[in-house]
């Protein structure tokens, strides 16, 4: 997928009559868009209308605006629209002598240098020991950030004498 493309998820309300689904999807192809997924909610009919959830990609905001105009002209209502961001999962297991506050500082440092969608830090320790095991799982928006985080944790191995194990996820 090109980085300039916009990925959108829309709940679209349309009349429950033959041909409406095709009429709702056609404007996307007219602007050279790409349909990623369609969920047709036929059982949830309200006032003679049904909802269709569509995820699609378009080249730019003007292309998206044209799709929205087509729908408005055809009496199709956008109930909800949101951007969809592709994310890349990361997982790291850190083992060694490191305090909980230092672990949290490291995560804050990673957050400042990347576009994180989510992060989870879990750690455990043995009583009367400075050794800890910490599991860091996160999702980032840019593939470059996966490399940056890997370089960051590699540097922490040398700085803190930690064992760092990269997850086997994607």
> Which domains can be identified in the chain, with CATH numbers?
6-83 (3.30.70.260), 88-166 (3.30.70.260)
The residue behind tokens 């909610």 is 41
Partners of 168 in the β-ladder: none
Give the tens place of pLDDT for each residue, 100-121: 888 889 899 999 999 887 888 8
**pTM tops 0.85, yes or no:** no
Q: What is the reported pLDDT for 168?
A: 59
Partners of 56 in the β-ladder: 8, 35
Which among 133, 151, 150, 136 is positioned nearest to 97, based on CA atoms?
A: 133
- pLDDT values of the chain reduced to their tens digit, one per residue, 170 residues: 344 578 899 999 999 999 999 999 999 999 999 999 999 877 778 888 999 999 999 988 899 999 999 999 999 999 999 877 667 888 999 888 888 888 889 899 999 999 887 888 888 877 777 788 889 888 888 888 989 998 998 888 777 788 888 885 54
Helix axes 20-30, 61-73, angle to 10 degrees: 150
- How many CA atoms are closer than 13 Å to the CA of 93, on its beta-carbon side? 7
């Amino acid at each position: 997928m090109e980085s300039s493309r916009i990925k959108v998820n829309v709940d679209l309300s349309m009349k429950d009559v033959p041909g409406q689904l095709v009429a709702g999807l056609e404007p996307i192809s007219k602007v050279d868009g790409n349909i990623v997924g369609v969920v047709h909610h036929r059982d949830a009919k309200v006032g003679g209308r049904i909802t269709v959830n569509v995820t699609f990609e378009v080249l730019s905001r003007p292309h998206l605006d044209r799709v929205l105009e087509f729908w408005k002209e055809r009496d199709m209502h956008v109930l909800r629209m949101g951007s969809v961001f592709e994310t890349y999962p990361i997982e790291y297991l850190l083992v060694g002598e490191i305090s909980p506050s230092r672990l949290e500082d490291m995560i804050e440092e990673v957050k400042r240098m990347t576009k994180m969608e989510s992060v989870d830090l879990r750690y455990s320790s043995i009583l009367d020991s400075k050794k800890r095991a910490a599991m860091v799982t996160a999702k980032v928006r840019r593939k470059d950030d996966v490399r940056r985080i890997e370089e960051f944790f590699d540097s922490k191995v040398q700085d803190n004498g930690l064992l760092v194990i990269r997850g086997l996820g994607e």
